[in-house]
Amino acid sequence: MYLSDINHPNQLHGLSVNQLKQIACQIRDKHLQTVGVTGGHLGPGLGVVELTLGLYQTLDLDRDKVIWDVGHQAYPHKLITGRYKDFHTLRQKHGVAGYLKRCENTFDHFGAGHASTSISAALGMALARDIRGEKFKVAAIIGDGALTGGMALEAINHAGHLPRTNLLVVLNDNEMSISPNVGAIPRYLNKMRLSGPLQFLTDNIEEQFKQIPFVGESLSPELSRIKEGMKRLAVPKVGAVFEELGFTYMGPVDGHNIEELINTFHQAHQINGPVLVHVATVKGKGYEIAEKDQVGYHAQSPFNLSTGKAIPSNKPKPPSYSKVFAHTLVKLAEQNPKIIGITAAMATGTGLDKLQAKLPKQYIDVGIAEQHAVTLAAGLACEGIIPVVAIYSTFLQRAYDQIIHDVCIQNLPVFFCLDRAGIVGADGPTHQGMYDIAYLRCIPNIVLMAPKDEAELQRMVLTGINYNAGPIAMRFPRGSGYGVPLMEEGWEPLEIGKGEILRHGDDVLLLGYGTMVYPALQTAEILSEHGIEATVVNSRFSKPLDTEMILTLAEKIGRVVTLEEGCVSGGFGSAVVEALLDRDIVVPVKRIGIPDVLVDHAQPHESKVDLGLSSSQIADRILLMLFSQKTLPIMS
């Protein structure tokens, strides 16, 4: 059988181990060929090929349910669940998503782009099954990195309290999240990887007792207690924590030995109650370059398979915002040992790996634990440290209570740096940074700012470091800057709550925030061609607003347009409208940003066109809404 012939995972049933090995090779080839062209996550999927085939051969996927944690490790799952023919569209607009989506495929039982959710979701499905009196298996597959997330431990705690609820948890242990794992749990798992398989030890004990003449058969009523006693002797080194929490522990199992995996999963399905199968895998398995550089090949832009090197862009790009942020932070941290950078398992993504390399004592990686990261920062701030919490906008959502309760209520000087704010592209709805303006703006005490370009980002990093009157947050986008000149040092901090006028005009006031400042300037140029002159303001701060400037200009000009790369509901534009209403200034206001929709995976420029956020589209909308007598054709 060929991989291209598989449209349903149950087609794996009855295949020999050798046939499954052939399918595994074909999965890796398709995976590599596709990601080499489209870009995407590489190492996670390559590491779970045999695990996926071994597990799925022991399940009836017309009934049983498999829940994948995060989802970027589920490319092999996608390839054997009817998406082979469309896999070349991976992460492209209208193509196969990079994560699991319930609406994409009937075998995607739970969508996820954030880590540590699988056990909770799987337990919910298992409980629903039992409530309805149904019979099917539920399996959650979670990486060892995701076990550092408190939610996974909460779910394990709950599941272990339910001895009659059948649930299989497969621990995919490759010693990595994106970067090498940190903390006591990964260290403990590493010790377990070096131990022998526990379940087979107890099975051998049973066989040995049965061989004792005149004794073996008569001991059968006591056999389970003997097995359990012998097992407990081994457990302190292997799986003790999981056993004590109420799980039956099996493993570690070689995650690339299909026969061993199949035998183990068959045994696991026979055990009542929650079971944890510990599978040891290699991230990037089968592609030597990815095995040697597991951090660099977690995900890749399009690359040459033979060399592993990224395909160069046609045009050289300016440095990314993340690199500029990291470089500036390192420079400031070299001068001030109180500055501590904090990441939640995203050192490379946030650029804090540069701080780790240069100043390791001023760097903390807490693992996939955003809640802990924020409250840890609050504790550091209590003691006079300057914590810089670098977390993607989408991931900081996971620590919302800690931002309010532990930082803002106590008015502690924590500096939040929100990378990937706005439209992020191919990762899709789970990773779009749409909501941070709205979800932070409503909290008392916090200051919110966003740079118009990478040079202003440098000044904002210094502003955030210097600000000690309470918490402050800076959002910035994914991708390259504009190529504006940068300074190596000598940056000047910004005055809190003050914007700048970039262009003067009497017909309409364009208030740009962050990434929408340059599009506002381009929009003003288009409007000028139609006889409409705009004042353009780089607002810089959404909280506090520069009300002195904004309200004065709004009252004078009489027409206001706000532009932001974030959700319109409760965002920067809403802040401007509230300020106008509070001062009884009644003028036409149009808010332009992300409407109340989920933005699917596509290239960022494609999403912006779909949302009407290109400069020409914005100009058309302004002409239609505020100057209807001078309309242009509206672009679709």
Catalytic residues: 283, 370, 398
Please give the biggest Cα pair distance in the chain.
105
Q: State both tokens at 415.
A: 């500096």
* 170, 139 contact by CB (below 8 A): yes
| Residue 572 burial by Cβ neighbours in a 10 Å radius (0-12, 13-18, 19+) | buried
Length of the chain: 636
Q: State both tokens at 597.
A: 């929709």
Q: How many CA atoms lie within 13 A of 161 on its CB side?
A: 6
What single letter denotes the amino acid at residue 380?
L
Q: State both tokens at 304.
A: 């040459």
* 178, 298 contact by CB (below 8 A): yes
Partners of 543 in beta bridges: 448
**Distance from CA of residue 109 to its chain's centroid?**
19
Q: Which of 464, 466, 418, 472 is nearest to 445 (CA)?
A: 472
Q: State both tokens at 431.
A: 């990773």
Burial pattern 178-204, b for ≥16 Cβ within 10 A else e, equals bbebbbebbeebeebeeeebbbbbbee
For the beta sheet containing 138-143, the strands, ordered from the edge strand earlier in sequence to the opposite edge, are 65-68, 138-143, 167-173, 274-280, 248-254
Distance CA 543, CA 497 (A): 7
Q: Which of 158, 153, 123, 152 is nearest to 138 (CA)?
A: 123
| Residue 101 burial by Cβ neighbours in a 10 Å radius (0-12, 13-18, 19+) | buried
Looking up tokens 């699988």 gives 118
Strand spans (E) along 467-586 = 472-475, 500-503, 508-512, 534-538, 541-543, 560-567
Distance CA 233, CA 2 (A): 46
Distance CA 255, CA 60 (A): 21
Distance CA 290, CA 349 (A): 17
Strand spans (E) along 499-584 = 500-503, 508-512, 534-538, 541-543, 560-567
Backbone angles phi, psi at 621, to 5 degrees: -65, -40
* 419, 390 contact by CB (below 8 A): yes
Q: Indicate the SS3 state at residue 361.
A: helix
Which segments of 70-176 does DSSP mark as H helices, in order?
75-79, 118-132, 150-159
